[in-house]
Structure 1
């Protein structure tokens, strides 16, 4: 039985996945491309009691994100944002705020995937040499080539993704089927190249 998709990635996992520096992650988060979140214990923000998942401002923790890697690994946060809200709350108790560590900072998987889609990025971690994966990507590539060779391209990329999901289901008795977003990332370069030739 396949595990459900990931829900969060640590900042270190994202840097490895994208082959970038932690300073880049902070910059993209600051520009609103995605959010950096963490979990905190119960704090008071004026009249509000807050605990659990909160959004962090990378600019308030800038020393942690030095490109040279010489910064500290944790810092104090005095301001937090709740998911789904645009206002920032000041932590009033404890007075010094809360300590957060880089190792405990996360990016939601849906925002990681959306960023990759927006920038036409191919996954680095699961496609690199020696990477372990429960899915037969090489087999899918062969099936994809045979499908296009024998029948040409379908009308939409979504149809092709669905056919590849069906292929995985047939090969694993329905037990190991990647989500459509993961398959789409792998076939998008092929789709775009062949659609340009058709046009």
Structure 2
């Protein structure tokens, strides 16, 4: 007798890429932009837990509450998720706490190696995938509105923004960020032109790139 496969509560990075038809850097960009939470599985990993207490306007101090051995699925910080996808295996020293003012810091045990996470270790909770898909589903058509055309689909968007973001992530993954934000904008405008697609104006691309530029912590670089 063949047993039915139980309902899996999480997807791997490869599963999600197949499901959405995208590449890992695209998923990494969503995590970096705080639109998707990536997780990892832990088993018996020693960690210090506690909370941050505000002692002054811009000053916080750590208040340890003790040690725990973590077992289960824990959410990653967005920078760690991005770095693992972009650079490969990475030492992780913390995971996201349940409480907003808390912290969970992984402590290396003397007889064990550092805790390293590879892209194949990344997990995405099924409920997180379904939340993202529900929030990003196309809006339903208003059937009460008169139809302006018959017998065919609506006009495609003027600019291929989906491919634009995939290309942006691919370039960041393969080549790293350019020296300036303007260089990235001009490179992507050239990409639109090279593929024979409609080319948006520079200010539109700059607005889109600037958000990612800030999320990557590159705002201190020249944007000229």
| TM-score, reference length from structure 1 | 0.51
| Equivalent residue number for residue 90 of structure 1 | 105
Shift of 1:48: 2.0
Say if 2:47 is the partner of 1:44: yes
Shift of 1:31: 2.9
**1:32/1:79 Cα in 2 relative to 1: closer, same or farther (>3 Å)?**
same
The 5 Å alignment of 1:157-172 reads: none
**1:85/1:6 Cα in 2 relative to 1: closer, same or farther (>3 Å)?**
same
Distance in 2 between residues matched to 1:26 and 1:35, nearest whole Å: 10
Shift of 1:23: 1.9
The 5 Å alignment of 1:23-172 reads: 23-41=25-43, 42-45=45-48, 47-52=66-71, 53-60=73-80, 62-66=82-86, 71-72=87-88, 74-82=89-97, 84-86=98-100, 87-94=102-109, 97-120=114-137
Shift of 1:54: 1.6
| Equivalent residue number for residue 170 of structure 2 | none
Shift of 1:2: 6.3
Task: Give SS of 2:116's match.
Answer: strand
| TM-score, reference length from structure 2 | 0.46
The 5 Å alignment of 1:172-187 reads: none
Distance in 1 between residues matched to 2:114 and 2:37, nearest whole Å: 20
CA displacement, residues 38-87 of structure 1 (integer Å, 9 cap, x when unaligned): 11232132622131222112413544322xxxx33x211011124x3333
- Segments of structure 1 that go 5 or more residues without pairing to the other structure are 122-188
Q: Is the 8 A contact 1:8 1:109 kept in 2?
A: yes
Task: Give SS of 1:48's match.
Answer: strand
| Equivalent residue number for residue 15 of structure 1 | 17
| Equivalent residue number for residue 125 of structure 1 | none
